[in-house]
């Protein structure tokens, strides 16, 4: 499966709006046929917080469906499938409560985001439960990947200690194989 961006419709009136953000049937019709088994919700208090680039190793690998429900983030997926013609390349998009966009990140991609505003809340569905010891990651600022993070001017990124110690792509032995999908 490929990384995809989705924009659920919103039905609005004077009270506000309603949106069906996920339907297994509707997503399967669009080629996303994984089953989600867990919902996660994170809060990042400061603008410039970077979380990622993360993944879960097989057999606990996870596809993700990510959306920002408060604030704005820059969401990124990096292809880490051995043999892929796009290995090491990234895609990114701004997700916000206002624009309602969601990013689907398939298995075989590292995922991360940077907060563009304070008090960002991110919700994401995953296709496999979290498994302690199955975590993996890459450096968020690896020049071999070259993500252009649009951090707020003058803001130093806020990182976890684990994210400060992640390996570079060149030091990484991927547990994922290319599946023939772009």
The tens digit of pLDDT for each residue in 27-66 reads: 999 989 899 999 999 999 999 999 999 999 999 999 999 9
Give me the helices (H) in the chain, please.
Answer: 24-29, 161-164
Per-residue pLDDT, averaged over 164-175, amounts to: 96
Give the pLDDT band (50/70/90) at residue 154.
Answer: confident
**pLDDT higher than 90, residue 153:** no
How far apart, in whole angstroms, are the C-alpha atoms of residue 182 and residue 85?
Answer: 8
The answer to whether the peptide bond before residue 59 is cis (omega within 30 degrees of 0) is yes
Q: Residue 66, class by beta-carbon neighbours within 10 Å (0-12 exposed, 13-18 middle, 19+ buried)?
A: buried
Is there a contact between 93 and 102 (Cβ–Cβ < 8 Å)?
no
In angstroms, rounded to a whole number, what is the distance separating the alpha carbons of residues 5 and 99?
12
Determine phi and psi for 70, rounding to 5 degrees.
-150, 130
Q: DSSP letters along 37-78, please?
A: -EEEEEEE-STTBEEEEEEE-TTS---EEEEEEESEEEEEEE
* pLDDT at 152 > cutoff 90: no
- The pair of structure tokens assigned to 130 is 């979290």
| 175 contacts 138 by C-beta, under 8 angstroms | no
Residues catalogued as catalytic: 54, 124
pLDDT above 90 coverage of the chain, percent: 91
Q: How confident is the model at residue 180 (pLDDT cuts 50, 70, 90)?
A: confident
* Residue with tokens 């003058």, as numbered in its chain: 154
Instruction: Identify whether the C-beta of residue 43 lies closer than 8 Å to the C-beta of residue 160.
Output: no
Across the range 127-139, mean pLDDT stands at 95
Asked whether the beta carbons of 9 and 82 are under 8 A apart, the reply is no
pLDDT tens column, 2-14: 999 999 999 999 9
Confidence at residue 179, expressed as pLDDT on a 0 to 100 scale: 86
State the pLDDT at residue 155. 86
The C-alpha angle with vertex 152 and arms to 111 and 91, in degrees rounded to 5, equals 30
pLDDT digits (tens, 9 = 90+) for 57-108: 999 999 999 999 999 999 999 999 999 999 999 999 999 999 999 999 999 9
């Amino acid at each position: 499966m490929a990384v995809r961006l989705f924009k659920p419709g919103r039905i609005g009136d004077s009270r506000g709006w309603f949106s069906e953000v996920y339907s297994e049937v509707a997503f399967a019709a669009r080629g996303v046929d994984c089953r989600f088994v867990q919902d996660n919700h994170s809060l990042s208090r400061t603008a410039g917080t970077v979380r990622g680039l993360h993944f879960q190793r097989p057999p606990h690998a996870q596809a993700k469906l990510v959306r920002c429900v408060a604030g704005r983030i820059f969401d990124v997926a990096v292809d880490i499938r051995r043999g892929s013609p796009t290995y090491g390349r990234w895609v990114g998009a701004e997700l916000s409560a206002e624009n309602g966009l969601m990013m689907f990140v398939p298995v075989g991609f590292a995922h991360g985001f940077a907060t563009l505003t304070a008090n960002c809340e991110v919700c994401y569905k995953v296709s496999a439960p979290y498994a302690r010891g199955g975590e993996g990651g890459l450096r968020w600022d690896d020049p071999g990947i070259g993500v252009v993070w649009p951090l707020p001017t003058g803001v130093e990124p806020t990182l976890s200690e684990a994210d400060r110690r992640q390996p570079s792509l060149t030091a990484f032995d991927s547990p994922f194989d290319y599946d023939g999908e772009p």
